[in-house]
Amino acid sequence: MRTRRGAVGMALAVALLSPLAWSQQPAPTAPAQLPARKASFSWNDQGTILRVAVKYRDVVDANVERKLLSGLPTVIVMRAYLYPDGANTAVAGTLKSCRIVFDVWEEVYRVQISQPGTGGEKTEAAPNLEGVLRRCAEAKDLQLADRTTLQPNTSYFLAAVVDVNPISKEMMDRIRRWVSRPPGASSSPGDSLFGSFVGLFVARIDKTDRTISFRTQSMVP
């Protein structure tokens, strides 16, 4: 029965998350060990969907703030996973993504928000950084799990990963091809040097510009 519930939970998770994001981004491996912060959980009006409200404004540090002002797109993606206490396998998951571009002529932030249960993507204009943080570094009424996914009288917690400018797999492949071709590199049939230095020099590629992870307090829905 537990397995079946898990399968239902995963189905919901897949429905809530974009398939691309779900397949490419791993869930936290030790979610209970993540630093804790407060979140509030609630049911929708029908009492069928568990929702969460949580803030993660600290993902916008000075560097990200500078990027937000660059006039080029910045994407903030929050992935959240619901775990039963003591378990390392998520029973449900959700996603909120936000894409922000500063319009250098109008001097406003144009914000595109995507989260389940809000009827698709929503575009707004934020006049200042505070407006961006409110829209993109906080989740309100974020749909998390269907009631049928959850066991009665079981305690759950949420673990979340927030990425700034995650790079798609395709873009990563293109970039790596660029940086991994050392000038004049040659290959020899043998590989048997004692302490050889492979003649390759590359810049490292981070998969995101910034990432934070956290967990919430436990709760019984």
Partner 1 sequence: MPGYIVEQSATGEDSGPHLRYALEAIEIRGNTRTTERVIRRYIKLKPGDVLDVDNPEIELTRYRLLGTGFFQRAQLSLRRGSRRGNVILVIEVAERNTIVVSDLWMGLSADADTNGNARPLTAYAGADVAETNLAGTGITLGAAMGFAQQQLAVRTRYFDPSFLGSSWMTSGTLMYNDARDFYGNRDVLYDDPSNATERVQDYAIVRYKRAGGSLGVGHDLGMPIQLWFDYRLERIDASLPLAASHRRGLDREPIDFGFNKGLSVLSTLRSTLVYDTRDSPILPTRGWHATVAGDVSMSPLGSSYPYQKLTINASKWWQLPWRHVLRLHVFGGAIGGYAPLYERFYVGDFSDLLPDRMLDLNTDRRPAPNFLNTDIVEVRYGQYAGKVQGEYRIPLYRGQRSIYGVDLFGSAGIYGVATQRDLSDPPRGYHGFSKIPVDLTFNLGLRIDTNAGGFMFAFSNVLGFIPVRSEARP
String of contacts with partner 1 for each residue 142-171, x by CB under 8 A: -----------------------------x
**68 close to 74: Cβ distance less than 8 angstroms:** yes
Closer of 85 and 107 to partner 1 (Cβ): 107
Distance CA 115, CA 94 (A): 8
Q: Check binding of 180 to partner 1 (CB under 8 A).
A: yes
Q: Which stretch binds partner 1 (CB under 8 A): 12-20, 40-48, 127-135, 192-200?
A: 192-200
Q: How far is the CB of 18 from partner 1 (least distance, A)?
A: 15
Distance CA 25, CA 213 (A): 13
Q: Which stretch binds partner 1 (CB under 8 A): 29-37, 53-61, 152-160, 197-205?
A: 197-205
Find the binding residues for partner 1 in span 80-99 (CB under 8 A): 99
Q: Check binding of 105 to partner 1 (CB under 8 A).
A: yes
Kindly give, in sequence order, each residue whose CB lies less than 8 Å from that of residue 86, ignoring residues fewer than 6 positions away.
32
| Residue 200 DSSP one-character state | -
**64 close to 73: Cβ distance less than 8 angstroms:** no
Q: Which stretch binds partner 1 (CB under 8 A): 80-88, 128-136, 154-162, 178-186?
A: 178-186
Closer of 107 and 130 to partner 1 (Cβ): 107
Q: How far is the CB of 137 from partner 1 (least distance, A)?
A: 17
Q: Check binding of 131 to partner 1 (CB under 8 A).
A: no
The token pair that represents 91 in the structure block: 């029973």
What is the per-residue burial (b if ≥16 Cβ within 10 Å, else e) of 98-107? Answer: bbbbbeeeee
Q: Residue 132: which of 114, 110, 117, 165 has the closest Cα?
A: 110
Q: Which residues pair with 211 in a beta bridge?
A: 163
**156 close to 84: Cβ distance less than 8 angstroms:** yes
The only residue of 7, 30, 175, 220 in contact with partner 1, by rule CB under 8 A: 175
Binding site for partner 1 (CB under 8 A): 69-73, 99-101, 103-105, 110-112, 121, 123, 171-206
